Amino acid sequence: MLPRHADPIAAIATAPGRGAVGIVRVSGKGLAPFVQGLLGRTLRPREAHYLPFPDAQGQAIDRGLALFFPAPHSYTGEDVLELQAHGGPVVLQLLLARCLEAAQGLLPRLRLAEPGEFTERAFLNDKIDLAQAEAIADLIDASTEAAARSAGRSLSGDFSKEIHGLRDALVHLRMLVEATLDFPEEEIDFLRKADAQGQLSNLQQSLGRVMQRAQQGALLREGIKVVIAGQPNAGKSSLLNALAGAELAIVTPIAGTTRDKVQQTIQIEGVPLHVIDTAGLRESDDEVEKIGIARAWDEIAGADAVLFLHDLTRQDAPDYVAADADIAGALPEKLPEGVPVIDVWNKIDRAPDGGHAPAAPQAGAHGAVWLSARTGEGLDALRRALLAVAGWQSAPEGVYIARARHVQALQAVDAHLMEAGAQLASDHPALDLLAEELRLAQNALNTITGEFSSDDLLGVIFSSFCIGK
Furthest C-alpha separation in the chain: 86
Is the N-terminal amide bond of 396 cis, ω within 30° of 0? no
- Strands ordered across the beta sheet of 224-230: 262-268, 271-277, 224-230, 305-311, 341-346, 368-370
Integer CA distances (angstroms), 165 to 77, 172, 217, 240, 446, in order: 26, 11, 19, 44, 12
Name the DSSP letter for residue 162: H
Q: How far apart are CA 22 and CA 68, in angstroms?
A: 16
Binding residues for Mg(2+): 237, 258
Integer CA distances (angstroms), 119 to 158, 316, 403, in order: 19, 61, 17
Question: What letters, b where the CB count within 10 A reaches 16 and e where it falls short, cover 24-35?
Answer: bbbbbeebeebb
CA pseudo-torsion sign 82, 86, 88, 91: negative
Return phi, psi of residue 313, to 5°.
Answer: -75, -15
Binding residues for K(+): 233, 252, 254, 257
**Please, what is the end-to-end C-alpha distance for the chain in angstroms?**
19
Binding residues: 25, 82, 127, 233-238, 252-258, 277-280, 372-374, 469
Output the DSSP codes for 164-216: HHHHHHHHHHHHHHHHHTT-GGGHHHHHHHTTHHHHHHHHHHHHHHHHHHHHH
Nearest partner of 344 among 295, 327, 222, judged by Cα:
327
Binding residues for GTP: 233-238, 252-258, 277-280, 372-374
Binding residues for (6S)-5-formyl-5,6,7,8-tetrahydrofolate: 25, 82, 127, 469
Count of residues for the chain? 469
